[in-house]
Amino acid sequence: MNTPDWDQLHRTAVEISKKAYVPYSKFPVGVAGLVDDGRIVAGCNVENASYGLGLCAECGMVSALSASGGGRLVAVLCVDGKGDFLAPCGRCRQLLFEHGGPELLLMTADGPMKMAQMLPWAFGPNDLDRNDR
Catalytic residues: 58
CA R_g for the chain: 15
Residue 34 φ/ψ, nearest 5 degrees: -90, 130
For the beta carbon of residue 15, count every other beta carbon within 10 angstroms: 15
The answer to whether the beta carbons of residues 52 and 68 sit under 8 Å apart is: no
The type of residue at 58 is: E
Nearest to 45 by CA among 68, 71, 63: 63
Question: CA-based angle 119:89:29, to the nearest 5?
Answer: 135
